[in-house]
């Protein structure tokens, strides 16, 4: 029996815990495997799924791609842009970032539960990690606090023994999370910036030049200063590979759920660990890859995520306006030189000089219009 067939059977079995590590580096494939686990895994099971993607930009379910992404830069650098099925903000993935996903019964879910588990894993590599009030994972960048007796309990995942504050001492984000809930299942997934080589450019990719001209419904990303887990103080002998972080997350999951690590498939010893599954009464685990596209539901999910229609036509309604208008009276920066001049714009300028109210140069756009006008899907730069 193929790994895909065994995986499809194992996911639905009444086994309480599952641990999977993907060797695929394709974002659409990994998100489709994750969605398959969300839909098909037994309602009483808890699943840990880890994966690493090639450079890509991933939008939240209810976000505007023209507002969140610098499409010109992404296209120039061959960075794929994709929309996921969960909410939350836009994130950047690359080969220095570990993505974790936990799927569990809704009664067992709360936003900090598995963020705290991941903090315990990160602290094996960097003790500055903690969960903040937004359920993100941050590093406190300051000096070790001098009063030893005031240090927090090492098991307190919301405080560290390091100083933080404003400016240079502002906590640096290393992990953000998003969530999806249904009647039977809850999904918590997030990023972990371990040693991203693109750390200095991420903000450029996620800063759209169209932002001053758009007023959008939906969710806007919350911008925060970021860093790598591998930056700053680490353990005395810090592991140097992405697999080390995956290993620590798996160990934290094993500890949290009292699993026997001897029953797990060899998951993270090297990037080339053989694909395969290990099935036991209380836990199924394995290394998986692109061969899971043999499962029709995963292949169909990948095809949907790859489509321009899913990326662009799912955008909530927004208004594009080159000048202040009744719906959006913000001042506008000068239009780019390449922007085509129009007789209407010249007419508006003449009226402005005469002291008359300018025309509202707005383009309201919503999902239904975009579905009817497929030309929007092929024009990502607005």
**How far apart are the C-alpha atoms of 32 and 305, rounded to whole Å?**
8
- Residue 221 confidence (pLDDT) above 90: no
| Predicted pLDDT of residue 286 | 95
| Predicted pLDDT of residue 269 | 56
Angle between helices 296-306 and 27-40 (to 10 degrees): 130
- Residue 232 confidence (pLDDT) above 70: no
Q: Mean pLDDT, to the nearest integer, of 7-24?
A: 96
CB–CB of 273/260 below 8 Å? no
Q: Mean pLDDT, to the nearest integer, of 64-84?
A: 96
pLDDT category of residue 328 using cuts at 50, 70 and 90: confident
For residue 204, give both structure tokens. 């450029």
List of residues 6+ apart from 74 with CB closer than 8 A: 57, 80, 81, 205
Q: Mean pLDDT, to the nearest integer, of 84-104?
A: 96
CB–CB of 119/127 below 8 Å? no
**How far apart are the C-alpha atoms of 279 and 257, rounded to whole Å?**
17
| Residue count (the chain) | 382
For residue 45, give both structure tokens. 């099971």
Among the residue ranges 30-44, 98-112, 338-352, the one predicted with the least confidence is: 338-352
| Predicted pLDDT of residue 344 | 46
pLDDT in tens, 290-320: 999 999 999 999 999 999 999 999 999 898 8
List of residues 6+ apart from 201 with CB closer than 8 A: none
**How far apart are the C-alpha atoms of 189 and 209, rounded to whole Å?**
29
**How far apart are the C-alpha atoms of 289 and 26, rounded to whole Å?**
10
CB–CB of 32/301 below 8 Å? yes
Contacts 24+ apart (CB under 8 A), 349-358: 358/323, 358/324
């Amino acid at each position: 029996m193929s790994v895909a067939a065994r995986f499809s059977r194992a996911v639905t079995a009444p086994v309480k815990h599952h641990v999977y590590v993907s060797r695929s580096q394709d974002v659409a494939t990994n998100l489709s495997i994750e969605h398959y686990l969300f839909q098909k895994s037994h309602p009483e099971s808890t699943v840990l799924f880890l994966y690493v993607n090639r450079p890509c930009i991933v939008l939240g379910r209810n976000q505007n791609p023209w507002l969140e992404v610098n499409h010109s830069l992404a296209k120039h650098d061959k960075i794929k842009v994709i929309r996921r099925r969960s909410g939350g903000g836009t994130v950047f993935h690359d080969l220095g970032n570990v993505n974790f996903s936990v799927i569990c019964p809704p009664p067992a879910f709360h936003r900090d539960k598995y963020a705290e588990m991941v903090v315990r894993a990160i602290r094996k590599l960097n003790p500055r990690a903690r969960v903040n009030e937004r359920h993100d994972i941050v590093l406190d960048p300051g000096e070790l606090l001098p009063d030893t007796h005031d240090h927090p309990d090492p098991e307190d995942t919301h405080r560290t023994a390091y100083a933080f504050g404003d400016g240079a001492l502002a906590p640096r984000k290393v992990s953000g999370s998003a969530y999806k809930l249904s009647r039977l299942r809850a999904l918590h997934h997030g990023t972990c910036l371990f040693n991203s080589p693109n750390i200095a450019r991420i903000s450029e990719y996620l800063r759209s030049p169209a932002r001053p001209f758009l007023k959008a419904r939906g969710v806007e990303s919350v911008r925060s200063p970021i860093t790598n887990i591998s930056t700053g103080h680490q353990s005395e002998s810090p592991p140097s590979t992405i697999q080390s972080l995956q290993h620590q997350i798996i160990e934290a999951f094993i500890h949290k759920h009292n699993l026997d690590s001897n029953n797990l498939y060899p998951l993270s010893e090297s990037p080339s660990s053989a694909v395969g599954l290990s099935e036991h009464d209380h836990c199924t685990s394995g290394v998986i890859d692109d061969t899971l596209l043999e499962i029709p539901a995963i292949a169909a999910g990948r095809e949907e995520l790859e489509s321009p229609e899913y990326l662009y036509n799912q955008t909530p309604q927004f208004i594009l306006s080159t000048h202040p208008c009744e719906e959006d009276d913000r001042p506008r920066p000068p239009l780019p030189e390449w922007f085509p001049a129009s007789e209407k714009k010249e007419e508006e300028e003449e009226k402005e000089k005469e002291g008359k109210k300018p025309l509202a140069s707005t383009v309201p756009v919503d999902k239904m219009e975009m579905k009817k006008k497929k030309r929007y899907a092929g024009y990502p730069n607005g």
